[in-house]
Amino acid sequence: MSSACRASGITDGTIGLRARVPLHRVESAGGPGARVDPRARYSRHVSSPTAPAALSLAQVRRVYPGGRVALADVTLRIAAGEFVSLLGPSGCGKSTVLRLLSGLDLPTSGTISRDLPDGAVPGYVFQDAALMPWASVRRNVELPLMLRGANAQQMRGPVDAALRAVGLADSADAVPRELSGGMKMRASMARALVMSPRVWLLDEPFGALDEITRFALNQTLLSLCKPLDGGKPATAVFVTHSVYEAVFLSERVVVMGRPGRIVDEVAVDAPYPRDAAFRATPKFAALCAQVSDALQRASVAEAGA
């Protein structure tokens, strides 16, 4: 389904809590990566202007009540199967871009388009794991299915699969206070994964984690985004403040500046799957330097504005 939401407030309706999602799709929730050879190399190479767009913003402006300009004029096209990171100083509008792409917010002017299968919703992972503190990991992960009317029997398979995929199978009965920060983020990813998203929107999900846990979760995320059944990899828009994380994960790093605009883009031309060896390459170091430089230029331009 192709959809466009304009300033008129028209949305595609896929975000409603009661949106029906065929449960047979959910059965494969924990499967991403399971049906392909984990060592198989693949390239995205989809950021060409002719590749079909999964998500796009055209001349989008978002002014909050009170006059705060969160996005001045953003045009961004994300191809189906592309992994794009958004990087930029605090307050430059990264979270606003994600909210607009998810349909949780509407632009003041401009056009947002999403091309999602019927009934599909993007998997949205927030910076804070936002788990229900009184409920077990299993109950938290069941939530999106419950809201769509699934019964206990229908939920068991997909929830087990999602918990296995993020490495939490042994913690299904724990409550959030018994989990480490990394485990909470894994539970949050499982809650999104249970709906089998092929479009992920991730807002600094690993910002509060130590380096080693962050590396491990970067790897988990890439494996959840792998191509399924010979198809395309999942589409992902990932917000981060870490230059290294952006380069490691992405096919393209988009650098934003204040007020709400895109100032540069850096292509990361390296095949997937990526692993620790990629971080040790001269190419990785050169790309990180290039992205840092773009960030630096964004802040200098801002200071001089």
Ligand X SMILES: Nc1ncnc2c1ncn2[C@@H]1O[C@H](COP(=O)(O)OP(=O)(O)OP(=O)(O)O)[C@@H](O)[C@H]1O
Give residues in contact with ligand X (CB under 6 A): 64, 66, 68, 70, 88, 90-96
Residues 6+ apart with CB under 8 A from 272: 41, 42, 43, 44, 222, 226, 233
Residue with Cβ nearer Mg ion (32 or 93):
93
Which residues sit opposite 4 in a β-bridge? 113
14 near Mg ion, rule: CB under 5 A:
no
Identify the helix (H) or strand (E) that includes residue 75.
Answer: strand 69-79
Contact by Cβ (8 Å): 271, 41: yes
With CB cut-offs between 5 and 8 Å by kind, which of ligand X, Mg ion, none does residue 68 bind? ligand X
CB of 216 to ligand X, least distance (A): 23
DSSP label at residue 128: S
95 near Mg ion, rule: CB under 5 A:
yes
With CB cut-offs between 5 and 8 Å by kind, which of ligand X, Mg ion, none does residue 92 bind? ligand X
DSSP labels for 5-64? EETT----S-SSTT----HHHHTTTT-TTTTS-TT--B-----STTSPEEEEEEEEEEE-
Q: Which stretch binds Mg ion (CB under 5 A): 5-13, 58-66, 90-98, 178-186?
A: 90-98
CB of 158 to Mg ion, least distance (A): 30
With CB cut-offs between 5 and 8 Å by kind, which of ligand X, Mg ion, none does residue 304 bind? none
Tell me which long-range contacts 209-215 makes (C-beta under 8 A, separation of at least 24). 209/181, 209/182, 209/185, 213/180, 213/181, 213/182, 214/242, 214/245, 215/276
Residue with Cβ nearer ligand X (50 or 90):
90
Tell how strand 123-125 and strand 83-87 pair up: unpaired
Number of residues that bind Mg ion (CB under 5 A): 1
CB of 25 to ligand X, least distance (A): 31
Q: Which residue is nearest to Mg ion (CB)?
A: 95
Residue with Cβ nearer ligand X (93 or 110):
93
CB of 42 to ligand X, least distance (A): 30
Q: Which stretch binds Mg ion (CB under 5 A): 72-80, 91-99, 133-141, 226-234?
A: 91-99
Sites of contact with Mg ion (CB under 5 A): 95
